[in-house]
Amino acid sequence: MTDSPLGGAAASRRLTLTIGILTLNEEDNIEACLRSASFADQVVVVDSGSVDRTTAIACGLGAQVFRYEDWQGFALQRNRLLSHAKGDYVFFLDADETISPAFREELEAIVQSGEEAIWMVRWRMVAFGKELKYLRSTAKVERLFWRGLLREYTGVVHEEAQLSRANVTRHLMRTPLLHHSRSTVHSSLEKLTQYAMLGAAKRAEEGVRGGILRGMASSIAMFVRLYFFHFGFLCGGAGFLYCVFVALESFFRYVALAYDRPYLSGDVRR
């Protein structure tokens, strides 16, 4: 890592971390998520209007909870979260993710380095009560920011971080983040519509065209890629189900682009 840019009294003080979480009806996940994040100097939960026990659980575990029910997209919710963040670093955690001891150790070391940069994470997938140990995940998402670099988020559906300067250094964290992607078949079926419509809304914003044939091609390609080339077949029944649900999301995403396009307003919440 590069030398710390901090000087004087700032260089000698302990740097701080804010962990921020966006929620909507996450009572099944939020307790494990928050307990894993409890080491942070500040934990902020921005809720979009949960009608279950999400906010009560979060308050009981000591998180700072703010409710904003006037949903206007993910970018605004993230900006609201940023307005409450006091740490030198901000880490965005989803409610269905948990921080392992190894991930915590790496995260704390980064915070104390003082480097002004951005860090991406990879996932270790957990589905249907089983860790998909052999499933190779290649997705990388930006989650940890030096607070001074992050000006705001823009975009109604596909939110994008706007930075305070160009040519920012980016790193990939070594330790994967635990992502409890699908806990039951029932919840996966409920989430199928949400994920498919969110993906459709993003692609509609980008001008992508859909259709049944394109959906079929995309879903078949997705299943083959995940199940065979990313070794989902080594993960038993849980791995098969995971690959099927991801493929179905891909199919309905492109079908919705063709048949529901006038209704893709972006009001789809994670």
| Per-residue pLDDT reduced to its tens digit, 27-66 | 999 999 999 999 999 999 999 999 999 999 999 999 999 9
Q: Does residue 267 register a pLDDT over 60?
A: no
Residues whose CB is less than 8 angstroms from the CB of residue 123 and which lie 6 or more positions away in sequence, other chains included? 97, 137, 139, 176, 177, 178, 179
Q: Nearest 5°: phi and psi at 140?
A: -130, 130
pLDDT tier at 269, thresholds 50, 70, 90: low
Q: Does residue 3 register a pLDDT over 60?
A: no
Average the pLDDT over 78-107 and give the result: 97
Residue 31 class from Cβ within 10 Å (0-12 exposed, 13-18 middle, 19+ buried)?
middle
Average the pLDDT over 5-18 and give the result: 69
Residue 194 class from Cβ within 10 Å (0-12 exposed, 13-18 middle, 19+ buried)?
middle
| Per-residue pLDDT reduced to its tens digit, 154-173 | 976 668 999 999 999 999 99
What does the pLDDT read at residue 191?
86
What does the pLDDT read at residue 224?
98
CB count in 10 Å sphere of residue 59: 12
As a whole number, the mean pLDDT across the chain is 91
What does the pLDDT read at residue 202?
83
Residue of 176, 175, 180 whose CA lies nearest to 238: 180
Residue 62 class from Cβ within 10 Å (0-12 exposed, 13-18 middle, 19+ buried)?
exposed
CA distance 33 to 126: 14
Tell me whether strands 118-121 and 170-172 are parallel, antiparallel or unpaired.
Answer: parallel
* pTM of the predicted model as reported, rounded to 2 decimal places: 0.87
